[in-house]
Amino acid sequence: MSAPHILVVDDEPDIRTLLQEILADEGYQVESAENGEAARRARRSRKPDLVLLDIWLPDVDGITLLKEWRGDNGLEMPVIVMSGHGTVETAVEATRLGAYDFLEKPLSLAKLLLTVERALQAEKLARENVGLRRQVQTVFEPVGKSQLMQALREQVERIAQHDSRVLISGEAGSGKKTLARYLHHCSARRDGPFVDVGVAIIARENSAVELFGSEEGEEVHFGRLEQANGGVLFLEDVADMDPETQARLLSAVETQAFRRVGGTEPVKVDVRIIAATHRNLEQEVRDGRFREDLYYHLNVVPLRIPPLREHAEDVPDLLNFYVDRFVDHDNLPYRHFSLAAQNRLRLYSWPGNVLELKNLVQRLLILGSGDEIGLEEVEQALGEASLAAGGLAAPGVLDLPLREARELFEKAYFEHHLQASGGNVSQVAKLAGVERTHLYRKLKALGIDPRQVGGGK
């Protein structure tokens, strides 16, 4: 992982030199700017992890720069303001605009270094809680004592020691994101960001801006690739990436640099890319839907996660794991599976893989009662799953009026495929042969929330 990048903005050469030397000795990467325009160029060239900003500059004051850099969600990096003749009003205004702290000159270098350290730590914690890691959760290793899962964990731990790109393949719901997070957690980049991009849910017209950011005048939007600097960019459903974005990504992978949409200068990044797909990417290449050169760049280390039916002996461990997780994190009542129920679930085919098992456990904890989940309750839950898979073959459905039977089938059909795809509406729309906007209306009419049905992959 690369060291934090600090931008020092001050018009006094001696102060710039002193701060550059002191911060470099502490292991930081340091860049300096002598005025506001140079600061704008430096920030555009590379997003700093922290800015030391003098209030009084020859061309523009620091407050103006703070206002320029303050987006809808505040500043995109911590800023420590410095001034030799600051006032209370200036300090208050800087803080109101999002500055982390206000330091008076002459600077106490000990206090400066402590403030820098605390600002970077605060930014890291904020990023983990509400920023870049949008769905942060405790990192779990893949669950299971089977030979398959033991071998998979060992393989991931070996791969994590290297910085190569990884392509994770596996059926929908098999736990690709969990595996990617575990790989990141085992690597030297573990303290860096893990930025998750659901490629399939990004509108095609927004995908380049979402990934690579944009520039318009002095306004700079930092994309996910730049946000992942020093850490990992996880590309979920990479097969759904449009051709133009594939070309941009290929260039970024080859050069470790890219241009923002509307930008003219290259931006360098240090990012490990982990991509994931439930499709056969080789077939996508043969069919002309995915670039062959990008495929080979992403597939440096292939990693296959097996479907649950191939390691069904892990089902009891997974049941216990998710029961404990929902009890601890969602305050659901504790219930245990009887031995007969566990054996029945070991024999189930799990078309939706670990995600389906997770959803089943959650549903049984929410809707059931009593300390034990028995065979009869499990059979009923699997019967509902069978309805989703078999539709009109379920008992009693053929006796309903046509309209009710059709609605029941449609509801079961879409819930099944949303669960199997992890809530991927685009994928279900393609499978069903309907427009995505039409599918959204249909789901709303049927009372289906894709997020609740699909959960997370």
Residues of the chain with CATH 3.40.50.300: 147-306
What is the structure's pLDDT at 457? 43
E-state strands within 69-186: 79-83, 101-104, 166-169
Structure tokens at 127: 């990023």
Cβ atoms < 10 Å from Cβ of 405: 16
In the Cβ-directed half-sphere of 43, how many Cα atoms lie within 13 Å? 29
Q: Rounded to whole angstroms, how far apart are CA atoms 361 and 319?
A: 7
What is the structure's pLDDT at 400? 54
CB 43 within 8 A of CB 9: no
Residues of the chain with CATH 1.10.8.60: 309-394
Over the chain (457 residues), the average pLDDT of each successive run of 10 is 86 92 92 92 88 91 88 78 79 86 89 92 69 50 92 96 95 92 93 88 83 84 89 93 93 92 88 94 93 96 95 96 92 94 92 90 90 92 61 48 67 78 80 79 79 58
What is the structure's pLDDT at 384? 62
Residues of the chain with CATH 1.10.10: 400-457
What is the structure's pLDDT at 81? 92
Q: CA–CA distance from 105 to each of 54, 83, 84, 111, 114 (Å)?
A: 10, 6, 4, 11, 16
Q: Closest by alpha carbon to 116, among 164, 78, 154?
A: 78
Q: CA–CA distance from 393 to each of 39, 166, 382, 408, 412 (Å)?
A: 68, 42, 14, 12, 12
Class of domain 400-457: mainly alpha
What is the structure's pLDDT at 145? 94
Class of domain 147-306: alpha beta
Q: Closest by alpha carbon to 227, among 446, 417, 47?
A: 47
Terminal Cα distance for the chain, rounded: 26
pTM: 0.67
Domain 309-394 listed as CATH 1.10.275.10: no
The DSSP symbol for 394 reads S
What is the structure's pLDDT at 138? 58
Topology of domain 5-130, CATH: Rossmann fold (3.40.50)
Residues of the chain with CATH 3.40.50.2300: 5-130
Phi-psi region of 27 (alpha: psi -120 to 50; beta: other; left: phi over 0): left
